[in-house]
Structures are given as structure tokens and as C-alpha cells.
Amino acid sequence: MKNSKLFQPYTTTQPASTATQTLEETTHLLTESSQAKLKSIPLKPIRDETPIIAVDVSSMKIGETDIGILCAIRAAVVWKQKHQYRYLRLGPFPFHITEENKNEVYHLFRQYSFLEQPTLDYTSTLSLIYAPTRLGALLERWLQMSIAAQTRKSLILWDGSLTAGTQDAPVAVISHLLETARNRSNIVLAFTKITRLRLLGYRLTDYIGKCTPPCLLEINGYPMNLSKAIQFLGNIYVAKLSEGNCSFRLDIDFRLPQERAVEAAQRLIGNEVLLQSYPETLRLAHIYSTFTANEVIGIQRFLAQTHQLRIVTRPNMRRLLFGPFGKGPES
Amino acid sequence: MRLYRKEGNTIQILCLPNESVEKGDYIQVGDPKQDKALLIQVIDVQFANIPGILEELLRDSTNNGDIVNGENLDPLDVASQITLIQDARLIICKIRGTIQNGKLSVSSAWLPSRSQSTVKKLSTTALAALLKINEKLPIYVGETKGSSPLRVDATAFDGKLNIITGKKETGKSHFSKLLVLSLIDYGAPVAVLDLNGEYAHLDHTSDGKKNQHYTKIHVLTPSSNFKVMLSQIKLRVMLNILIHALNLPGTSAREFRRIWRFLNEHAKLSLHELGEAIRNWQCNHHVKDALFSRYYALVNSGFLTDNPSEAITLEDYFRKIRTGGALVINLRDTSFADRQIVVEYLLGKLVEMLTSWKLRAVFLVAEEAHLYLRETYWNDIVTRMRHFGVFTTFVTNQPDTIRENIYRQADNIFLFNFTNAHDLETVSRAAKVDSETVKSIARDLPPRHCLLLGGVVKDFPIVVKVRALDVQTMGQTRLFFNQNTSF
């Protein structure tokens, strides 16, 4: 506590929609090095009507049955072309996942997600609790691949980072996605809203505070205490693309020359509406995919009506045991 | 529909948009275990407070412009259920009573089960059957929302004070005419103080033909076919006219009383002799001036005459309508002061006839009574005169012209649309129903729809679309731009 002056209190209430849990939840530390440097790169907008495409997926646990869980997934693709935003919303797709069918559902998703057969049998360890997140991630990869393969000379915005090496983001898959995008002259820009990446103990985004926007802060040469499986497939920047207090971690394909990466950021600020440094296309994709509480009720009703399911309210153990002190989500 | 919550005598019901419920409808909340049902009435329909609805509406609002548009791929049509939830309604109801063993009581001291109770609409026909409001002398007033006819009992108007109110052009006078004709059909005598000459042609159909009421409607127009001789007027009535209608001071009234007695003793009670007597009377010249000015006001009204062939006897007309008929006093072309003279005379005569049992009872319909009825008469009519057998129906579009104590004593209120909050506040003071019901339902009543309150519906408010009448109503406003008729 002695070196810390600021803290952000967490809110106790959960948002209505739980977006896919990504690797950004894991804290990685960049350690000190003599070769390491922080470099500020000022940006000049390039206005050339480059198409901007964003994709986001939300998954949500809808309820429980006696043999499994009910969940729903929804995806949104938003693109901006010629000053107009268009969107395609896919879903909601409700699923009933049980111990019996989880392998079948998972393999079905993998089949359409351009993924190779897993080297490990992930399904044996796939917990039902994480199944919605996992299915959401697979749908997101499928959409990312579809966009990368069907567009040209576009900026593709992802929600999250280019950190690979997990079940949801295998290195081979993310590499293949980036390669497909590169081959069609697309550039993937991955925005992380809240990064846990810390440099010398401080949150990465805190370092850009004094830079004048629009600019990028290049994080280069810092060794990282990563496990062997985890790989960064993008160069990491801190982006402050417009006026305001917010800055974000921005990952750009590390196989691209730095000039092209900077040029991509300049095209983004030249052709996109940015509010608090965050691209509008990606914001819309998030908004269109997110489930509201009312939608959850609607999906529950749909499932109850179409499958004659009886909705059962299980007692909240925390509430039951601790009364008003029983806070936090029900496990 | 599901029972959601109860606070005081307010019940909230949750329902989906495919379950059609409107203000004024009755709902039955049945508890199978307790074997009884709570009868509640819808007073408001709101959107249910669904969590996340604001986010959804904000998100959808981005689609409205040209800036963002797109499409949804929803092969399972889950969105239809989401839309259903978005449109879920919260029905605000007031408890009216309890149905047990097919009988209705006003008891509401129990609570049905929230999880087990069945919630369903109760048709107005079924309600009317439970209330038994149309058993003796049914009056067909119109149709309820379910297009079922509603009949009320004519006896519910007997000995009662009624108020018909609503804003302009909502159908008050139409309803009043329906009431008059229905009472006539059951043999009741009705006197109408007709401010706008609307009732004069109730004996003709809309296409100008004589109808079944032709011999039962008698129209008297002051200073035309309604003139009386001074000898027909009692001193008490004349003093009322002079003091209240013509503002004669007390000292002058005392002098007038002496003159009147003198003329009466000498059997010279005529308009001419009265003028001569005032001229020759030995009294203060200010008093004489005051008496002369009132005398000329009486003469100029044209209501009094010395010609016996011009004068009518009101008793004769009331005799004609004793077994069913209406005496319409057409006050359309009568000045404010003259109207007061005529009304003072009529009411005085009515009391006289009723106290001497020349008339059993009379239903008095008074349109915009504040324009001719003096202040002190209001309480007199609703209390004293009611006991003599004058059963009044006030018709007004200015509810604040009727005092609060009159509303409190009203037995039946027929409420048409009001949008003005002040008017609603005034009417809501009526003791027959809670103010929330009045304010909420009356505000949204369409034209020609009436909220029936009071004994006529056994204190169970019912909304009815008043039926049409095939009579010449003459109530339409003369328009400038509709110049098909020449001067």
C-alpha cells in the first residue's frame, strides 16, 4: 500500500450480460530491462474511407436444468463503410448443455471454427460452468475467420488481445487468423478495455497519461514472466486516440512492419468515430451482442414454451445462509 | 395474467400484451383453496418495469436513423418472446368486492394466493347479473366494451340526486335525454330546465317524424306560451323572486308585502293594479323607486300577464305528465334575470303541489343550473325538496360550479371525459368512489362513453358507451363554416 496512491473500487453488482471471459483477466507482469524502452508515437489521421469491421460475441448462462445448464450466445458484426454503420446480429442461440452432449456440441462448434483437431482432449476437462464462454469464443473465432477471409484492405477490430496459447485462443488458430487477414491486406487491431498487464507494478495504460492524443505508446523489449504456452502474437501499444481520460491496450499483428501498424492506427482515427479513444464500430458490436436482463427473461420464456421446461428457482445459498450479508454471485 | 402485488386497496396484475385489458374492465382473482374470488377493477394500464429495458430501447433507437441499420439473423425467432416481455403490462386495479358462492359482497378483508390464484376477466354482463342492477325497471343505457348491452334499474333514480358531468361535446345532454325518455316510458313525470332549447323536439325522430313520445313532451317557453297571472303566484314565491332574482332590499320587501296584502284583500291582484298601488303608496321615495324598478323588470320579462287567456296553469301541465311525460321549460331566449324569475316560480309551484299531494314526485333535470339557480337553492334542492319528491339531475360541463357538499350527497354520478386536472379533482371528491378511479378512468374516456358511479351500479363503477337515440336532439352548436342553411 505504501507506493500506491490510487485505487479503483470494484462494483459489487454484476452487469446483466457477462461477456466472454478473455485472457485479459490474467495479470501478466513486464519486468525491468536495460534494453527496454517506452516510445511515444504521434498519429496523423489518414482519411481514405478504409472499411472498418468489428466483431463481438456475448454468452450468457440462462438457467439450470436437473442435468445441465441453459445458455445463450449472440454475435454482432458491425462495419463502417462510406460514413454509414451496418450490423448483422446473429442469434440469440440458446443451448442446453449436459455432461452427455457437451462433447458433441463442442466438436460441432470446432468443426465450423477453422480449428484443427485439438492436440489435447479439452472436452474431457470442459466444465459446464465455462461452457457458455467456450462456445462463445468458438463462435467469435469463426466470425473473425470469416471476416478475415472475405474482406480486403480493411481494418478488423477485435475485442480482446492477441495473446495466444489458451484453450480459447490456441497459438495455431490466432496465427492462422492473422495470416489470413495479412494475405488479404487486412489488419487486425485488438482493443483491450481493461488490461491487467502491468509494467514495473503499474497498469500499462497509466503510462500514456501525459502524451497528447492521438498517439500510441509502444511497449518494446520488456521481458515477461509468461508460461511457455502463452505467446504474444501482436506488438503491444497503449493507444490514446482521442481527447478524454481513457486509453486502451492495443495489439497489432507483430508480423507487420511497424510503419504499417502505425498507418493502420492512423487510418482508424481518420475514418472512425472515436469516443474516449474507443472505436464506435467496436462499441456498437458490443452493444448489439450484449444481453439485457429483459432478453434473458425472454429467452427463458422461449425455452419454457418451446421445450415445455418448467422454470425452477433454486435457493440462493449465500442469501439463505447469510441474509443481507450474502453478497456476490450465486455459484 | 398473474397477481403481482397488493398495497392498500390497490392490486397490481402482471400481464402480457396478448391479454387485452383496458381501463374500467373487471378482473376476478380466484383463490381455489379459499373458494372465493376478489373482484377488482382496472384503473390504469402501465408498462411493467422490466430490468434492462432502458438499455434495449437505447440500443434499438440507434437503428432509427440512416446512420446505423442492419439485420438480425434469428432463426429460432427468440426475439418474438423478447418483444413480448418488452411489452409486458402492469395492470393497476382497485379492489371492489368479493365473490363467494355466486354472491357479490363489498368485503375485501382477505388476500388471495399469489402463486395459486387464477386471474381472469369478468364480463360486464356477468357483473351486472351478480349486481342485479337491471331486475325491476331496466333502462337500456348502452353497450359495455364487450359490446354487451347494459341496463340499469329506473328505481335507482327514484328519490335520488344525480349528477351528469363531463367536458363539452362528450355526450352529457344526450345521456340526459336518454334518461328523460326512459323515465317517461316508465310513467314518471319529468320537468326539464332546458337552457339551450335542446329538449323541445324530443317528440320527433331525427328525420322529423313524430315518435312515440309525441303526446308526452310539453314545451313551455317563458313570455311566449308560458305566462302566469299575478294571482297565481303566492306571496312567498313573489318575495323570493324579488329578493333573490331581482335583489330587492329588505326594507322595500317589507313595503311590498304590505302592498301585496292590500291588493289581495281587495281582490285586485293584477300587474296593472300592482303598478298603480306602488305609484300611490305612501312610503319613502327610495323604497318607491326600488319597487318601481322591480315592477318594470317583472313587466318587461313578459312572464306575467293580466290577460287570463294568455296565462297557463302549471298544475294542468303537471296533471298531463302525471302518468309519464316531460314538461320542458325552454330557457333558450330568456335573459339571466328572467330565467331566475321563471325558475323561482317553477320551484315554488312544485313545492306547493308536492306538499299538497297534487303531485306524487317529479324528476327535475337542470342543465347548467348555476346559470339560473340561486346559491341557497342548491342545498334546498338536495335536502329539503328531495323529501317533498323533487329528484334532481344536474347536468354541467363545469363541475366546479357544483359545491363539494352536493357531490358528497349525490347518489349517482354519470361521468364523461374530463382532461382538465382541476375538473377531475373536483369530481373526484364525490364520495361514491375513490379519487384515483375517477381521475384515471375519466381522463381516457372516449366521447359518448360514460363512467357510471353510485347506486345505479351498486357502487361498482362501470364504463358504458351510451346508445344512440332516434330523436331530434337540437344540441348541436351552430357553425359559421357550415352555411348550408340560410338566415
What average pLDDT does the segment B375-381 reach? 71
Neighbours of B417 (CB within 10 A): 23
The mean predicted confidence, pLDDT, of chain A is 80
Residues 6+ apart with CB under 8 A from A120: none
Does A37 or B470 have the greater pLDDT score?
B470
B51 vs A78, A93, A294: nearest CB? A294
Residue A11: predicted pLDDT: 33
Task: List, for chain A, all residue ranges whose pLDDT scores fall below the cut of 50.
Answer: 1-25, 119-120, 331
CA distance B33 to chain A (A): 23
Residue B121: predicted pLDDT: 92
CA distance B92 to chain A (A): 21
What average pLDDT does the segment B372-401 reach? 80
CA distance A124 to chain B (A): 30
User: What pTM was estimated for this model as a whole?
Assistant: 0.76
pLDDT tens digits for B391-450?
A: 989 998 888 888 777 888 889 999 999 888 888 888 887 767 888 888 899 888 998 999
Instruction: Decide: helix, strand or coil at residue B93.
Output: strand
Residue A278 touches chain B, beta carbons under 8 Å: no
Grid cell listed for A19 = 461477456
Residue A115: predicted pLDDT: 57
Distance CA A221, CA A35 (A): 6
Please answer yes or no on whether A87 and B68 come within 8 Å at the CB atom.
yes
To the nearest whole percent, how much of chain B has pLDDT over 90?
A: 36
Distance CA B128, CA B284 (A): 67
Please answer yes or no on whether A301 and B59 come within 8 Å at the CB atom.
no
For the ranges B6-10, B252-256, B375-379, B448-452, the lowest mean pLDDT is seen at B375-379
Please answer yes or no on whether A302 and B86 come within 8 Å at the CB atom.
no
Q: Any bridge partners for residue A54, and if so which?
A: A78, A157
Residue B365 has pLDDT above 50, yes or no: yes
Residue A27: predicted pLDDT: 52
Q: Which residue of B has its CA nearest to A73?
A: B74
What residues in A contact B74, CB-CB < 8 Å?
A: 89, 91-92
CA distance A325 to chain B (A): 23
Distance CA B165, CA B335 (A): 24
CA distance B49 to chain A (A): 10
Decide if B152 contacts B138 (C-beta within 8 A).
Answer: yes
Distance CA B330, CA B316 (A): 18
Residue B353: predicted pLDDT: 87
Residue A90 touches chain B, beta carbons under 8 Å: yes
Distance of CA A148 to the CA centre of its chain: 16
Q: Which residue of A has its CA nearest to B53?
A: A294
Q: Which residue of A has its CA nearest to B76?
A: A93
Residue B328: predicted pLDDT: 93
What average pLDDT does the segment B252-275 reach? 92
Distance CA B78, CA B238 (A): 81
Please answer yes or no on whether A292 and B51 come within 8 Å at the CB atom.
yes
**What is residue B219's DSSP assignment?**
E
- Angle (CA) A167-A171-A172 rounded to 5° is 105
Please answer yes or no on whether B81 and A299 come within 8 Å at the CB atom.
yes
Q: Any bridge partners for residue B3, and if so which?
A: B13
Q: Which residue of B has its CA nearest to A15?
A: B52
- Under 8 Å CB pairs connecting chains A and B tally to 90
Instruction: Decide: helix, strand or coil at residue A101.
Output: coil
What residues in B contact A16, CB-CB < 8 Å?
A: 51-52, 55
Best residue of B47, B85, B86, B114 to probe chain A, by most A CBs closer than 10 Å: B85
Please answer yes or no on whether A84 and B52 come within 8 Å at the CB atom.
no
Please answer yes or no on whether B55 and A292 come within 8 Å at the CB atom.
yes
Residues 6+ apart with CB under 8 A from B155: B136, B137
